A and B are shown apart, each in its own frame.
Chain A
């Protein structure tokens, strides 16, 4: 899960990373009050769980508390990449001498954390990485030993820092490593780490993505997720609570299957025959009739869906449970659309009997089923 900037900064504060004085506001009046307390020019930043905030106009400057009020008012009415802005962070503005990039993430192919440092930080770090890869220093950290002090110094030195600056940057990196470890981070980033004209180091922006699987160790974050504040859409959250994975897409054919790989292959098969998937829905392993019935409800809540393709390959999942779920869902479905079912594997015969008794047809080939569901939709469209 991705944390808000102000949450990430709280994690930074706990390990002693230097931050600019700031306050969080939910109204324009609060923002003005904070600006007044801080004194002098401020920067006001929309708190949203989306990237590219600066380029979308989510970061603004204000010289006076009155300015701060009108700027905050504007930001609090914005929606950035579909995320409405509920809070703004008001921070003292800094006189910038240099922008540094520091980050730690996980390198999947090396199966290790990788620490990244560049003397050319700022919003264009990705372009720097492409155009001048030599300006980016990377170091793969031993996950058992962790990042050691001398390694941090070497990273800073390789990134071009010398003398006191090398020691300072290494110190920031070691603190960032603490953030990474303490929070089970998938990614944590200071971009930019600012060197002010007075020579102070300040973490101006903070990014922290926490591994969802570690939330049992992070109770406060787990509570925030369960309170419904997250990057997911409402249907995606409902599915997750029921133990399923649902991802909304842009087509008109609803997809339900068991197992992530199989569901993706099902989407691809629909596309292969000229159709467009409306969603990804994995009912998970060992789905019960109840879960299956819920899955159909979720898929049909998407108004664009004109037909549904259910593809089940029973392993741990039992076909009789799936069949029962499909039958149970019928009277509750919000609307009638063609449903094509492909079902093979564990307790296939029992499942078949249940569907036959309810007069619901099904197939045993994924390919035939994909073709059929695409045909249904093209008939609807041409009618």
Chain B
């Protein structure tokens, strides 16, 4: 088993005729993901590399009721509308790749998803991959391999770094999720930890956090109270100064909150193993598994 996506996932690509949408649809298909259809308003009725293109999500859903996941490659100013449309049509896993979406728009569609019982992954995420089964994202697939470690991260390339370390050391992954680098994202560490705890084929979870916000601190509280499986954590940004945004809109230490040291201490107290370098993930897992 895996979490969120597996062999049965049927994918809708929103913005399929755009450059990014087109390129990553090909990459997902090559990986073996079941991409079924796409949308681009105004291009309904056309085809994109053999896949039907619809004007709306609801039309795609009528034709393909099995659609249960979507991935959004729509430009920032239209992406919130696309996410809202997917949630409204009852898509259960909505992955928002788009970066630079206005935060007010994000708050609204994330709230809508919460009410409708859909998961929003992202925005500004590399997506989700259940190695060997389904890739719903833009990550380079070759660094991932099937296995029993869950991976949750706020960053893209850093996820690949840790996944590569895991794969090199012989630890495959059940599912790897990029939560996204924005200050506001749909799925949180807590949501993902909960799913990995319930997943019988995940033995341990690796959590990759960074400075800014309090998502890691909330994860720590949840780990202490609800998680029985081992958690290994890495926090990026120990050297980041206060008040400077480190690339991700969400990665900023403001006042006393959001520092790497604070997150590390809280996670250690909650029983997580916190590693100093991504490469140490191997040794940490060897010790506990």
Chain A contacts to B: CB under 8 angstroms:
106, 108-109, 111-113, 142-144, 181, 184, 186, 211-214, 216-217, 245, 247, 249-250, 257-265, 267-272, 277, 280, 282, 285, 313-316, 344-346, 365-367
Contacts and interface: CB of A to CB of B under 8 A. Distances in A.
A106 B241 CA distance: 22
Contacts of B157: 257-259, 261-262, 313, 315
B47 interface: no
Contacts of B260: 268
Contacts of B104: 143, 181, 184, 211, 214
A366 B278 contact: yes
B208 A261 contact: yes
Contact of B184 (A108, A282, A366): A108
Q: Which 5 A-B pairs have the closest CB atoms?
A: A261-B155, A260-B247, A259-B157, A261-B158, A143-B107
Given A211-B102, A260-B246, A143 B156 contact: no
Contact of A247 (B138, B208, B236, B246): B246
Contacts of B276: 272
Contacts of B154: 261
Contact of A264 (B102, B107, B246, B249): B246
A226 to B, nearest CB: 16
B155 A262 contact: yes
B183 A106 contact: yes
B214 A315 contact: no
B246 A280 contact: yes
A272 B236 CA distance: 12
Contacts of B101: 213
Contact of B107 (A113, A257, A259, A271): A113
A73 B238 CA distance: 42
Contacts, number: 158
Contacts of A142: 111
A169 to B, nearest CB: 24
Contacts of B159: 261
Nearest to B183: A108
Interface residues of B, number: 59
A315 B160 contact: yes
Contacts of B270: none
A241 B224 CA distance: 44
Contact of B111 (A144, A184, A261, A365): A144
B36 interface: no
B161 interface: yes
Interface string B194-214: 000000000000001011011
Interface in B121-160: 126, 138-140, 143, 153-160
Contacts of A277: 239
Contacts of B244: 247, 280
Given A277-B239, A366-B279, A144 B213 contact: no
A229 to B, nearest CB: 18
B108 A143 contact: yes
B247 A280 contact: yes
A245 B250 CA distance: 14
Given A111-B111, A249-B241, A261-B208, A282 B103 contact: no
A148 to B, nearest CB: 15
B38 interface: no
21 contacts: A106-B107, A108-B184, A112-B111, A143-B111, A144-B112, A184-B104, A211-B103, A247-B244, A261-B154, A261-B156, A261-B248, A263-B246, A264-B211, A264-B236, A264-B237, A264-B246, A268-B238, A315-B160, A316-B138, A344-B164, A366-B279
A142 B183 CA distance: 17
B265 interface: no
A346 B245 CA distance: 28
Contacts of A270: 239
Contacts of B58: none
B181 A106 contact: no
B227 interface: no
B240 interface: yes
A313 B160 contact: yes
A262 B214 contact: no
Contacts of A112: 107, 111
B89 interface: no
Nearest to A185: B104
B71 interface: no
Interface in B59-100: 76-77, 100
Nearest to B211: A264
B110 interface: yes
B213 A262 contact: no
B80 to A, nearest CB: 11
B215 interface: yes
Contacts of A217: 102
